[in-house]
């Protein structure tokens, strides 16, 4: 009976759309329109090649000035786009036709910023030099063919026998996985979920088990939401808790205990514009 119920739930869940990535370019007027569009298009192509995210065009991709290493400036530039991820490129021309390119990955869900620099690169070598820099910035869950899952609040996950820290995003190959949700109360629930590519999903405690501290609230006047997919959106995690980093786990079934307290659920937030 339990097996039939789990299969029904998996088949009836709505498909989760991949998180979105936009590219923004800052060059302070040092690039012409054609060169700017070429750099934007090149970066977007690299992002499509390396990630499972939906690459979208920012309403205004070309920006004056340059943030450099100022995280607050980079977050502000990213917040204008209202996507879960923003790749910000800051270009400075150097002598002999070369350029320095500051590359920053802004995760608007976590508020995290990661930066790298491509120094003294010739325009003809930009694609070759830019690709490994962007690859180093892509979060594990956002890589091509991967997704991620995170436990609510202070709960923890056990995947393939490995214990995670509270709030840690566990990167998983896209496809079915068995995940053990461990609550601070000592209760646990083993569930089998299909992880989509390019999405972070929050695993919710099943009905009948207490919601952990910091869980995603349900509708007004109710406790934590159960039985829904929860797609983490820009600005959701500050205070709800997504830790930095994340652990990558290959595909396959996870080890860990019998089904206790009913199956856990993945919860996805839907609605209008992302809240920043």
**pLDDT tens for each residue of 39-90:** 999 999 999 999 999 999 887 655 667 788 899 999 999 998 989 999 999 9
Of 95, 110, 138, the residue that ends a domain is 138
Residue 61 to residues 83, 133, 224: CA-CA distances in angstroms? 13, 20, 38
The contacts of residue 174 (CB under 8 Å, 6+ apart) are 52, 145, 146, 147, 195, 196, 197, 251
Of 82, 117, 138, the residue that ends a domain is 138
Domain residues for the domain of 168 are 144-267
Structural domains counted in the chain: 2
Residue 229 pLDDT > 80: no
Full-model pTM: 0.74
Q: Within a domain: residue 7?
A: no
* C-alpha closest to that of 102 among 113, 91, 112: 91
Same domain, 132 and 180: no
Same domain, 27 and 134: yes
Report helix, strand or coil for 49: helix
Same domain, 169 and 107: no
Question: What CATH number is associated with residue 56?
Answer: 3.40.50
Q: Which range among 13-27, 193-207, 212-226, 239-253 shows the weakest confidence by mean pLDDT? A: 212-226
The pLDDT score that the predictor gives to residue 161 is 78
Same domain, 133 and 154: no
Give the H/E segment covering residue 192.
strand 188-195
83-104 pLDDT, tens digit per residue, is 999 999 999 888 888 999 999 9
Instruction: Answer positive or negative: Cα dihedral of 209, 211, 213, 216.
Output: positive
Same domain, 209 and 125: no
Q: Which range among 37-51, 76-90, 199-213, 252-266 shows the weakest confidence by mean pLDDT? A: 252-266
């Amino acid at each position: 009976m339990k097996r039939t119920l789990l299969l029904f739930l998996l088949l009836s869940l709505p498909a989760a759309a991949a998180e979105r990535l936009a590219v923004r370019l800052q060059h302070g007027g040092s690039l012409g329109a054609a060169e700017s569009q070429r750099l934007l298009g090149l970066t977007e192509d690299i992002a499509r090649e390396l990630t499972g995210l939906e690459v979208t065009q920012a309403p205004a991709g070309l920006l004056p000035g340059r943030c450099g290493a100022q995280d607050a400036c980079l977050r502000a530039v990213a917040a204008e786009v209202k996507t879960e991820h923003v790749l910000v490129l800051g270009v400075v021309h150097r002598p002999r036709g070369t350029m320095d390119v500051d590359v920053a990955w802004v995760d608007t869900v976590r508020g995290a910023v990661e930066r790298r620099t491509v120094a003294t690169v010739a325009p003809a070598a930009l694609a070759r030099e830019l690709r490994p820099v962007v690859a180093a910035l892509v979060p594990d869950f956002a890589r091509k063919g991967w997704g991620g899952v995170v436990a609510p609040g202070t709960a923890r996950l056990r995947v393939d026998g490995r214990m995670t820290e509270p709030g840690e995003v566990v990167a998983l190959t896209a496809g079915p996985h068995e995940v053990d949700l461990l609550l601070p109360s000592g209760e646990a629930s083993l569930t089998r979920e299909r992880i989509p590519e390019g999405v972070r999903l929050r695993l919710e405690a099943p009905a009948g088990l207490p919601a952990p501290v910091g869980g995603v609230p349900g509708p007004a006047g109710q406790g934590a939401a159960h039985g829904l997919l929860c797609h983490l959106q820009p600005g959701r995690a500050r205070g709800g808790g997504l830790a930095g980093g994340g652990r990558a786990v290959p595909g396959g079934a996870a080890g860990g205990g019998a089904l206790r307290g009913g199956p856990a659920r993945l919860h996805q937030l839907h609605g209008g514009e992302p809240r920043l």
